[in-house]
Homo-oligomer: A and B are copies of this chain.
């Protein structure tokens, strides 16, 4: 095998993403990552230091790439939710990674994520000030509910995941329509 440090790094990252998505941080096995890369176990430590640092590297790289991929439009949150839905559908491992992160890194504070959130909250505020978006909710409230609806189909317990799901197009429609109803003008 030809020697290529970068390629080995990339293979390790790919294998690590799959491993961490499947088993989480505590459940992941460095041996299995090495075996699936394939790469020697010692190289993982040479390149990434430790299992935890490897997770952090994988998470930062993949999730941030993910976040960047869906562009945020505060004046059309239903469409944003639809795009987010599409991305989750195409890339379910990223959502799992995020969930593990939430559970196992409860104090994680990635600057890039904070920046992304701040930008979204700010965009919502501006859209509200311009009258292009309901002011029935604060920016944080809106972001919270939209995010929940966006991933709603992935929040099923295993039991509910087993019942026959609607086709993807319909699931998408449900998400988009739900957000539409959420943000529509006051309705009392």
Q: Judge if A9 is at the interface, Cβ distance under 8 Å.
A: no
Q: Which residues of B have CB within 8 Å of A78?
A: none
Interface size grouping (class) on chain A: 35 or more
CA–CA, A1 to B10, complex, Å? 57
Q: Which of A1-58 contact B (CB under 8 A)?
A: 23-27
Give the Cβ gap from A178 to chain B, nearest Cβ, in Å: 5
24 residue pairs of the A-B complex, CB under 8 angstroms, read A24-B103, A27-B27, A99-B99, A99-B103, A101-B157, A102-B156, A102-B158, A105-B158, A108-B157, A110-B159, A114-B162, A137-B174, A140-B163, A140-B165, A140-B166, A141-B174, A144-B156, A145-B152, A145-B178, A148-B148, A149-B149, A181-B181, A181-B182, A182-B182
Which residue of chain B is the closest to A174 with respect to CB atoms? B141
Question: Do residues A109 and B26 form an inter-chain contact, with CB atoms below 8 A?
Answer: no
- Cβ of A119 < 8 Å from any Cβ of B? no
Contact with A104, one of B24, B145, B155 (Cβ below 8 angstroms): B24
In the docked arrangement, what's the CA distance between A114 and B157, Å? 10
Chain B residue with Cβ nearest A63: B157
- Complex Cα–Cα for A24 and B100 (A): 10
* Alpha-carbon separation in the docked complex, A153 to B23 (Å): 25
Interface membership of chain A positions 92-103, coded 1 if the CB is closer than 8 angstroms to chain B and 0 otherwise: 000010111111
- What is the bound-complex CA distance between A68 and B156, given in angstroms? 18
Pairwise interchain contact B187-A157, C-beta atoms closer than 8 A: no
Docked CA distance A10–B177 (Å): 46
- The answer to the question of A136 belonging to the interface, with a C-beta cut-off of 8 Å to chain B, is yes
In the complex, chain B residues whose CB is within 8 Å of the CB of A101: 157-158
